Amino acid sequence: MASLPVPSVQAMVAAIGIDHVPPRYLRPTDADEPVASDGGEAEIPVVDFWRLQLGDGDELARLHIACQDWGFFQLVNHNVPEDVVEGMKASIKGFFELPAETKKQVVQEPGQLEGYGQLFVVSEDQKLDWADILYVKTQPLQDRNLRFWPDQPAGFRMALDRYCAAVKITADGLLAAMATNLGVESEVIAERWVGGVQSAMVAAIGIDHVPPRYLRPTDADEPVASDGGEAEIPVVDFWRLQLGDGDELARLHIACQDWGFFQLVNHNVPEDVVEGMKASIKGFFELPAETKKQVVQEPGQLEGYGQLFVVSEDQKLDWADILYVKTQPLQDRNLRFWPDQPAGFRMALDRYCAAVKITADGLLAAMATNLGVEPEVIAERCVGGVQSVRVQYYPPCGQADKVVGISPHSDADLVTILLQANEVDGLQIRRGGAWLPVRPLEGALIVNVGDILQVFTNGRYKSVEHRVVVDGKKERLSMATFHSPSKNAIVGPLSEMVEHEDDAAYTSMNHDELLKLFFAKKLEGKNFLNPIKKLKNSG
């Protein structure tokens, strides 16, 4: 499949004006068909996506008639966030406002459909459309050819990725509703692995025998808060934040300032996206060990299936298996480490990460408002920002009180959003000299302030140390999504947060250099901050 190259209509109009039309664009006069008089457009069906999602019978009937009699309808309450839509609009406008020479960087190549040009041009004498087109493939991930994804205007690729992921969720919802109308099963139930090997070592030696390297010193135990303390953990309503609700903004501010941690409800990540991610996580860790090894970490690499922060042969190890991959920016994705089993894992990860990125951006904008900082100040440092995920499997352990799932640490990012993928708890945060268990609310995501946000705010918002303990009988599954500035950003206090230079609690350092130092050490406490923490500051 290919389309013949043709001149840019936009460039042609710029050169000869809008009144002169080359013959190849003029259609035969006998091809004219009548256009309905004004008012006919009022008949075009309008469908409410939100009501469809609720299973409203009248709305399903309205959709059915639209598909059957029209094949066309307008969709309101479509669940694509307004900032995603407006960001895409601005990027489209910005692309077509670029100089012709710049747009040619993504021009179609001979024999290709993708790129900037026109489609369906199959002969030198056919009539042409009065349009320029940019055509790219966005799914499946492995078919993306970033050679044709414009990197100008700034942020185009991110805007396109976010919009397409959000629209895909809407399209899936529409297709499910159409299937319901047609009396067809909306999805085929995937075969589940039953009794699959969860962890090669546990499968081989059982849950009661723990190798010495996983046993932590008994003097390392710290008190765990008694039951009831978890009720104090702040809960923030994302929907009310988006509406600019003053009480909710104040609740967020207190959570970031006093806790560095909160549960997020009404977070705008669609339920089917969350459930799809949970099922994919479960399916991956149920695969045979040999299958999981297809994405195992390579020497000198962080990404892949294995463990992180193992820097010596004698350090204590965490009782967990981890899958770590980078998801943003797009050009940093290494699909070599993205599992293609279970079926749909890559799509589930892509959809979830895109939706969570929208939520993270909204949280950072609300935090900026609370701090009296223009949202653009933080956003500018996050252009081309880094998003990565750590998918975690904690096998049951017969000596659960003597091992740790993940060592106590804070996160080296702006904000972390955690998805608990099954019903087994284990996350604890350090507060008041004790460990406070976290029991996620149904449907909530868990958010914690990262070290970089602590630095940006000069300590007004503080990252929180946390750890994971394991269960004696049940496995635990979770996924942390980390959101950070771009790799070349400078990590240091924002000027708006420091009245005088001497007030800065931290020096400044390149983000990428800081990360190299961080990953070269054992995961322990808040050590990410050590290279830039001023001596007078206690951290």
What 3-state class would DSSP assign to 351? helix
234 vs 220: which has the higher pLDDT: 234
d(CA 251, CA 301): 40
Of the listed ranges 35-44, 130-139, 178-187, 342-351, the one predicted with least confidence:
35-44
Going along the chain from its start, the domains and CATH numbers come out as 9-182 (2.60.120.330), 214-494 (2.60.120.330)
Could you tell me the pLDDT band of residue 189, with boundaries at 50, 70 and 90?
very low
Instruction: Inform me whether the pLDDT recorded for 172 exceeds 90.
Output: no
Kindly report the CA angle at 426 between 477 and 261, in degrees rounded to 5?
Answer: 100
If you average pLDDT over residues 421-443, what whole number do you get?
A: 89
Could you report the per-residue pLDDT of 64-94, keeping only the tens digit for each? 988 988 888 899 988 888 888 899 899 989 9
Of the listed ranges 165-169, 196-200, 214-218, the one predicted with least confidence:
196-200
192 vs 507: which has the higher pLDDT: 507
Could you tell me the pLDDT band of residue 539, with boundaries at 50, 70 and 90?
very low
| pLDDT of the residue at 197 | 24
Give 399's DSSP letter. T
Q: What percent of the chain has pLDDT over 70?
A: 76
Could you tell me the pLDDT band of residue 250, with boundaries at 50, 70 and 90?
very high
304 sits in the region (left: phi over 0; alpha: psi -120 to 50; else beta) called left
Q: What percent of the chain has pLDDT over 90?
A: 28
Q: Are residues 77 and 48 in contact, defined by beta-carbon separation less than 8 angstroms?
A: yes
Instruction: Inform me whether the pLDDT recorded for 207 exceeds 60.
Output: no
- β-pair type (74-76, 46-48): parallel
What 3-state class would DSSP assign to 82? helix
Instruction: Inform me whether the pLDDT recorded for 228 exceeds 60.
Output: no
Instruction: Find the length of the chain.
Output: 539
Instruction: Inform me whether the pLDDT recorded for 310 exceeds 80.
Output: no
- pTM (2 decimals)? 0.65
- Which tokens is 183 given? 């009396």
| pLDDT of the residue at 249 | 94
Could you tell me the pLDDT band of residue 463, with boundaries at 50, 70 and 90?
very high
CA distances from 310 to 299, 316, 318, 495 (A): 12, 9, 9, 36
Separation of CA 171 from chain center: 19
Of the listed ranges 256-260, 311-315, 448-452, the one predicted with least confidence:
311-315
Beta bridge partners of 83: none
- Which tokens is 517 given? 């130092």
- Which tokens is 111 given? 């024999």
Q: Which residues contact 491 (CB under 8 A, 6 or more apart)?
A: 452, 455, 456, 485, 508, 509, 510, 511, 514, 532
Work out the mean pLDDT of the chain and round it to a whole number: 80
| pLDDT of the residue at 390 | 93
258 vs 27: which has the higher pLDDT: 258
| pLDDT of the residue at 196 | 25
Of the listed ranges 2-16, 53-67, 75-89, 241-255, the one predicted with least confidence:
2-16
Instruction: Inform me whether the pLDDT recorded for 273 exceeds 60.
Output: yes
If you average pLDDT over residues 106-123, what whole number do you get?
A: 71
Instruction: Give residue 396's identity as a one-letter amino acid code.
Output: P
d(CA 72, CA 67): 6
d(CA 366, CA 364): 5
What 3-state class would DSSP assign to 204? helix
If you average pLDDT over residues 119-130, what whole number do you get?
A: 60
Nearest to 311 by CA among 90, 527, 86, 40: 527
Instruction: Inform me whether the pLDDT recorded for 326 exceeds 90.
Output: yes
| pLDDT of the residue at 192 | 28
Q: Are residues 316 and 310 in contact, defined by beta-carbon separation less than 8 angstroms?
A: no
